[in-house]
């Protein structure tokens, strides 16, 4: 028996080693060998690459600074957004060099001891934290209008930087001017960071939000470094004098704000807020068509998003219930649409819509469509009717299911309605 066991062990020892499983894949003039190692890991080795050098450099750049699978893994507009984002960070970094140089110059001009100057600098930085705290209370509004707040963030940043650039003109007011500038920049930092996620989310197409975020930050870092280099060059030459700064800084600021405006125009945000909801409803009521987020992006008003749209019923959403409906008529308004999560109060200039606390984007769309159809019927009617609201409600119900299905097929998210700090109610 012992002899048999020894023979089996000897045969097991003499078994040939397992050959690793490997194969070669050829794609776009590139040959890669894939092989499973004994520990189960997959190794990849470049066998042959007959691509031109320029093509290899371009693809290497795309792999480092664009999401995997680009351009099929992102929504339309990502390239234009990235181009202007790069320009934005380049100009911002160059401008920051000029503002820092001016601050140091202004601090050095002050006829005070070094200790007092250090205290002033600390207080100046403290103002930035105050700005951050104040702006943090506006998060819900930033969710509703990320594009507007992103633009406002850069305007505030340039305002703060402009004050810092001009600080040498009034060195005796260094703390006041620099503190106010840092206060504006603190608010800008919070607004820019808070709006980054909804903007990146609008480009994510295959659940690749982390990849988008990482590659976006890589591009920002690259062009920040390039901008710092350009800023140092400007500060050493053209902008070594105050006159040079007063010429170059406004030009950089204009380029900076223009870049962020173009970024936001290229961003196809696919969530429902008051402006986008009104535009969708107005187009559907008027033409029967529905635009995708990519089609609607260039029609958005980025500066004044709260404008009323006549074809959508001039709906105003978010006012407090007690401002819109008197207590004596509250039951009457609720019984008009008892199964719905919205109240409508049609006035002479606009229609107020108040949503329940758990109302979704679908509820907001239903209310908006009722208001739009009612306004359209009232405009076409020869005689005023007391049943217009009910007729509009019935018309909305007849078209809502196919309307909602097409809306979702176009890429719109209808599970929530972002009305900022608008008031809602609950019985």
| Residue 278 and residue 262 share a domain | no
The predicted structure's pLDDT at residue 2:
47
Lateral strand order in the sheet of 22-27: 22-27, 30-36, 42-49
Residue 114 lies in a domain: yes
| Residue 282 and residue 252 share a domain | no
Print pLDDT tens along the chain (427 aa).
Answer: 445 445 445 544 554 555 667 776 666 666 667 777 776 666 666 666 666 767 767 777 777 788 877 888 889 899 999 999 999 999 999 998 888 888 778 766 544 445 444 545 555 566 777 777 777 777 778 888 999 999 999 999 999 999 989 988 888 887 788 888 888 988 898 899 889 989 999 998 878 888 898 999 899 999 999 999 999 999 888 888 889 999 999 999 999 999 999 999 999 999 999 999 999 999 999 999 999 999 999 999 998 888 899 999 999 998 888 888 877 777 777 788 888 999 898 888 899 999 998 899 999 999 999 999 999 888 877 666 668 888 999 999 999 999 999 999 999 999 999 988 778 887 6
Residue 342 lies in a domain: yes
From 220, 246, 266, give the residue that closes a domain: 266
Strand partners, 49: 30
Residues whose CB is less than 8 angstroms from the CB of residue 228 and which lie 6 or more positions away in sequence, other chains included: 93, 94, 96, 97
HSE-up (13 A, CA, CB side) for residue 420 = 19
The predicted structure's pLDDT at residue 278:
95
Residue 63 lies in a domain: no
Number of domains observed in the structure of the chain: 3
| Residue 281 and residue 258 share a domain | no
The predicted structure's pLDDT at residue 388:
87
| Residue 117 and residue 250 share a domain | yes
Helix axes 146-165, 242-266, angle to 10 degrees: 180
From 249, 266, 283, give the residue that closes a domain: 266
93 vs 115: CA distance, rounded Å: 29
| Residue 248 and residue 284 share a domain | no
Q: Is 39 helix (H, G, I), strand (E, B) or coil?
A: coil
365 vs 378: CA distance, rounded Å: 20
Q: What's the burial of 85, exposed, middle or buried (CB within 10 Å: 0-12/13-18/19+)?
A: buried
Q: For 385-394, give one letter per residue: b (16+ CB within 10 A) or e.
A: eeebbeebbe
Best CA proximity match to 285, nearest among 349, 161, 177, 371: 371
| Residue 121 and residue 96 share a domain | yes
The predicted structure's pLDDT at residue 59:
72
Residue 381 lies in a domain: yes
Q: Is 315 helix (H, G, I), strand (E, B) or coil?
A: strand
The predicted structure's pLDDT at residue 33:
72
| Residue 251 and residue 116 share a domain | yes
Residue 224 lies in a domain: yes
CATH number at residue 221: 1.20.1250.20
The predicted structure's pLDDT at residue 316:
92
| Residue 259 and residue 280 share a domain | no
Residue 67 lies in a domain: no
Residue 68 lies in a domain: no
Residues whose CB is less than 8 angstroms from the CB of residue 273 and which lie 6 or more positions away in sequence, other chains included: 144, 145, 305, 417, 418, 419, 420
Best CA proximity match to 340, nearest among 318, 317, 322, 358: 358
Residue 33 domain boundaries: 22-51
Residues whose CB is less than 8 angstroms from the CB of residue 170 and which lie 6 or more positions away in sequence, other chains included: 106, 177
From 266, 295, 325, give the residue that closes a domain: 266
Best CA proximity match to 109, nearest among 178, 29, 61: 178
What CA–CA distances, in Å, run from 350 to 279, 374, 418?
16, 12, 20
Residue 311 lies in a domain: yes
- Give the pairing type, strands 42-49 and 30-36: antiparallel
| Cis bond before residue 71 (omega within 30° of 0) | yes
The predicted structure's pLDDT at residue 222:
92
Assigned token pair, 363: 């509820």
| Residue 281 and residue 242 share a domain | no
| Residue 216 and residue 104 share a domain | yes
| Residue 316, phi then psi, degrees to nearest 5 | -120, 125
> Which pairs with CB-CB distance under 8 Å and at least 24 residues apart come from 111-117?
none
| Residue 278 and residue 239 share a domain | no
| Residue 208 and residue 120 share a domain | yes
Q: pTM of the full predicted structure?
A: 0.79
What CA–CA distances, in Å, run from 70 to 54, 58, 206?
18, 13, 11
Please check whether residue 277 is in contact with residue 370, taking contact to mean a CB–CB distance below 8 angstroms: no
């Amino acid at each position: 028996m012992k002899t048999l066991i020894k023979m089996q062990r000897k045969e097991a020892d003499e078994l040939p080693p397992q050959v690793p499983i490997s194969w070669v894949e050829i794609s776009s003039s590139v040959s890669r060998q894939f092989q499973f190692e004994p520990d189960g890991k997959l190794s990849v080795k470049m066998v042959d690459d007959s691509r031109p050098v320029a093509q290899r450099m371009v693809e290497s750049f795309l792999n480092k600074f664009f999401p995997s699978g680009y351009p099929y893994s992102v929504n339309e507009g990502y390239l234009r957004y990235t181009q202007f984002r790069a320009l934005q960070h380049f100009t911002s970094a160059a401008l920051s060099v000029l503002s820092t140089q001016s601050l140091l110059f202004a601090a050095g001009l002050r006829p005070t001891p070094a200790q007092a100057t250090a205290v002033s600098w600390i207080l100046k930085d403290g103002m930035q934290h105050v700005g951050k705290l104040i702006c943090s209370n506006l998060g819900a509004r930033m969710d509703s209008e990320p594009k507007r707040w992103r633009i406002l963030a850069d305007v505030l940043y340039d305002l703060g930087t402009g004050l810092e650039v001009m600080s040498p003109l009034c060195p005796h007011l260094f703390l006041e001017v620099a503190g106010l500038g840092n206060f504006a920049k603190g608010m800008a930092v919070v607004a820019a960071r808070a709006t980054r996620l909804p903007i990146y989310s609008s480009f994510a197409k295959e659940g690749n939000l982390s990849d988008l975020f990482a590659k976006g930050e890589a591009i920002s870092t690259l062009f920040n470094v390039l901008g710092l280099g350009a800023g140092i060059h400007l500060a050493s030459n053209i902008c070594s004098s105050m006159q040079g700064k007063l010429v170059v800084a406004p030009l950089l600021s204009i380029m900076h704000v223009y870049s962020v405006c173009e970024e936001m125009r290229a961003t196809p945000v696919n969530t429902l807020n008051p402006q986008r909801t009104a535009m969708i409803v107005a187009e559907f009521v008027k033409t029967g068509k529905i635009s995708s987020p990519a089609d609607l992006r260039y029609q958005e008003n980025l500066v004044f998003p709260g404008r009323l749209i006549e074809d959508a019923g001039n709906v105003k959403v978010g006012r407090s219930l007690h401002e819109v409906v008197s207590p004596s008529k509250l039951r009457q308004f609720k019984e008009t649409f008892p199964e719905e999560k919205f109240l409508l109060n049609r006035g002479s200039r606009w229609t107020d819509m108040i949503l329940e606390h758990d109302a979704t984007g679908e509820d907001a769309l239903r209310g908006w469509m009722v208001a739009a159809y009612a306004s359209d019927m009232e405009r076409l009617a020869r005689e005023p009717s007391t049943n217009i609201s009910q007729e509009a409600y019935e018309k909305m119900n007849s078209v809502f299911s196919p309307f909602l299905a097409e809306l979702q097929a176009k890429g719109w998210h209808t599970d929530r309605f972002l009305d900022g700090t608008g008031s809602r109610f609950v019985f």
